[in-house]
A = this chain, B = another copy of it.
Amino acid sequence: PSLGWRPGKDHKTEEQLWELIRREASADAAAEPALASFLHTSVLVHPSLAKAMSFMLANKLSSRTLLGTQLMRLISDAYRADPGIMEACVADIQAVFERDPACDRYTQCILYFKGFQAIQCHRIAHWLWTRNRRTLAIALQSRVSEVLHVDIHPAARIGRGVLIDHATGVVIGETAIVGDNVSMLHHVTLGGSGTGKGVRHPHIGDGVLLGAGVCVLGAHYVGAGSKVGAGSVVVTDLPAHCVAVGVPARIIKHGCLEQPSDKMDLVEDFILDYVI
């Protein structure tokens, strides 16, 4: 696990989660014949969450350019080579389930949520990037942007337990860092400033919430446990545990949390709530 990340008290292991996912898929396949074949091939025939995820992501990304079988092998290899990728995936599934009130099934998250799928694709592209397969990493980034409408540079570093809700139009630049337990909505931009090649994108601290359409531009730090209201443009650093809104964003509240270290609860309290 990355520094600072720790599982919540209801956190499930990969095996526990996989068992719950299989039970859901079984029940849904019995209740909805139109989806039975899909649920069998996507979930029920697989021996593990890693295999099911490899199949599902390969299916999403495959094209005349990138063959499904080739992608599935590549993704399986990544999961095997770096167990941290699946640990992060497990944390992300639980983040979606706990924080998105419209999500009442783990299978929904895995099979249908573009933001979740895009983050998992990014974790594979980032693995390729760090192993110096940059051309392939860029090809994956591009394919994710085409298929899931989320554009994350493979060099960007994304923590665990991250939720990108709705996800359409999210852009995360090359030198951006997203901490653990961050939640963001669709149309969020973590953008660069200037044409230099060095660090030029923001660092989002643990447990931060970014509302729909927020732009954070330049190498600024958004402190842990802070919240930025929808449509705001952040062009400065923000301290921890503040609330900022507006174009450009101004801080309207400080020290607004009693237990900043209890990340999951923090995010839950704040999701989508626009204090003003």
Contact = CB atoms under 8 A, between A and B. Distances in A.
A232 interface: yes
A203 interface: no
B272 A111 contact: no
Contact of A233 (B169, B185, B231): B231
Interface residues of A, number: 75
Interface stretch (A12-20, A26-34, A46-54, A79-87): A26-34
A273 B166 CA distance: 28
A141 B186 CA distance: 16
Contacts of A212: 171, 189, 191, 215, 217
Contacts of A169: 149, 168-169, 186-187
B215 A135 contact: no
Interface stretch (A1-9, A119-127, A240-248, A255-263): A240-248
Nearest to A168: B169
Contacts of A171: 166, 168, 186, 212
Contact of A139 (B112, B139, B276): B112
Closest 4 CB pairs of A and B: A112-B142, A231-B233, A38-B65, A215-B230
Interface of A: 28, 31-32, 34-35, 38, 42, 59, 64-66, 70, 74, 99, 101-102, 108, 111-114, 133, 135-136, 138-139, 141-142, 145-149, 151, 153, 166, 168-169, 171, 173-174, 185-187, 189, 191-197, 200, 211-213, 215, 217-218, 229-233, 235, 245-248, 268, 271-274, 276
